Structure 1
Amino acid sequence: MSLSDSLLLADEPAPAQWVNAGGRAPFLLLGDHAGNAIPRALGTLGLSGQDRERHIAWDIGVHALGIALAGALDAPFLFQPYSRLVIDCNRDPAHPEAAPAISDGSAIPGNRRLQARDLAARIAAIHAPYHAEIAAEIARRGAAARPTILLALHSFTPALGGRARPWHAGVLYDRGDTRFAEALLAGLRAQADLVVGDNEPYRMDATDFSVPHHAYPAGLPYAEIEVRQDGLEMPAAVERWCEALRRACTAALPSVIA
């Protein structure tokens, strides 16, 4: 029995799931933290129901936004449905935050004194197959001479550590081909009703995994998009963000594709 077989049961969600897999746009949408499921073998990780619904467990609103944007752009959306507290798919699996023992003031009992074999089982069951599917899709598109722009979708809590965050959204980027990210930032800022951060509320750095791991080595244009979670609470708000991002992505496309 493999490590992955020992964690996920046959009827539990696959760790890499597609929406609009046949989408023809150059965009490949990613949802690293799109769900808050916990494998039954891990119980609740010792968390209350309230903590399992908080931002510490997932990127609230990203699943709905990804589905809407996949339709609006005719782009595939690849997401993983398990909580970032089980294994964070936007962290190197060796990073201390890959399975944190505490997050924004909440203890994660199921991650306290986590044994190496138990962490390896989570990586094998969720982290590795999710990233393998991203890599395989990039390879498939490359073999078909299809361009790829990687768009990682995330959301952030309106306040952290007692400090309010004024941005409605942020565009994150660092190394590699940043042309699309910079054009996307300009396109969102051109929409007068939006306050959009440049590498806010986080700066893309060595803490991030998905974009650096997949976009940098392949020379892919990319952007990591952060939307404040109170802007994704209702279906109508998700649709407004979908339209704002559709317009900005479409306007930024000529920055990388003639």
Structure 2
Amino acid sequence: MIDNLPYRQVGTEDLRPGGLLCVADHASNYVPDDIELGIDHKLLNEHIAVDIGVEGIADRLARRHNIPAHIACVSRLVCDLHRKEDEDAVVPTESDGKLIAGNIGADVEARLERFHRPYHTAFADLIERTRPKMLVALHSFTPSLDTSDEERPWEVALLYNQDDRAARHAIRLFGEQGLSVGDNQPYSGKQLNATMDRHAEANGIPYCTVEIRQDQIETEAGQARWAMMLADVMGRVALEV
């Protein structure tokens, strides 16, 4: 973490109101030295700890495509920034069948105060300064879960809760690229949409929550390809909403 902050912001120096703004809640696998999760260290490179590939895309959107980004700097296993404060999974004790033993009995209030609240306060402040036309929330999903045999064939998916106006345009535009596009798959934004519920829907701001299958963006080449495609598609969506 930079200056002990649970986030970093890229491309926010010369903000122009009315553009796109990106957020990446699960971009990092960082665990502070004073927090012991009680898991095999190798798991920090897997999907339970981080949305693989997302950090590289968010950085590229900000540095090369002029879309400012608010990027998480702490693992979702330490504090899940894409959960509401009163959800049990905000400090998870299990993920995809893996026990997170160090979180059992953890001081949840301390984690919220240290990570969750500063992250969301800073994002709200950035929205206030930027006055974006649309928010883009970036996530990635694993092609398969250890605890399920469900197939996940979608290359990209759009999630939404009540406000689907931007998602509908994005689903169509990604489909026109020849991609297999999920509509509220493999997760439903009606159950898991905390960050966009709070910062977009509550404020009437159109948004796209974009889930990219991780095998598409494991490499820098894949991340560069998707950053370019996202900048194009999201820019066109923003013209429609």
- TM tier, smaller: over 0.9
Count of aligned positions = 237
SS at match of 2:200: helix
Partner of residue 18, structure 1: 9
Task: Kindly name which structure, 1 or 2, has the bigger radius of gyration based on alpha carbons.
Answer: 1
Q: Percent identity?
A: 35
Counterpart of 2:7 in structure 1: which amino acid? A
Range moving further from structure 2, 244-253 or 61-70: 244-253
Matches for 1:163-178 after TM superposition, within 5 Å: 163-176=150-163, 178=164
Mapping for residues 55-204 of structure 1, pairs under 5 Å? 55-114=47-106, 118-142=107-131, 147-160=132-145, 161-176=148-163, 178-192=164-178, 194-204=179-189
Greater mean alpha carbon deviation, residues 46-55 or residues 83-92: 46-55
Question: Which residues of structure 1 form unaligned runs of 5+?
Answer: 1-7
Secondary structure at the counterpart of residue 34 of structure 2:
helix
Superposed, which structure 2 residues align to 1:229-244 within 5 Å?
Answer: 229-244=214-229
| CA distance, structure 2, for counterparts of residue 103 and residue 222 of structure 1 | 27
Cα deviation, 1:30-58, whole Å, max 9, x if unaligned, reads 01011011121113x11111111110011
* CA deviation after TM superposition for structure 1 residue 23, in Å: 4.8
Q: 1:217 aligns with which of 189, 202, 206?
A: 202
Residues 72 and 184 (structure 1), Cα distance of their counterparts in 2 relative to 1, 3 Å cut: farther
Deviations 1:117-141 (A, max 9, x none): x111110111000100111112223
* TM-score normalised by the chain length of structure 1: 0.87
Unaligned runs of 5+ in 2: none
* 1:29 paired residue number: 22
- Rate the CA distance shift 1:154–1:206 in 2: closer, same or farther, 3 A: same
How many angstroms apart in 2 are the aligned matches of 1:102 and 1:129? 24
2:6 maps to amino acid:
P
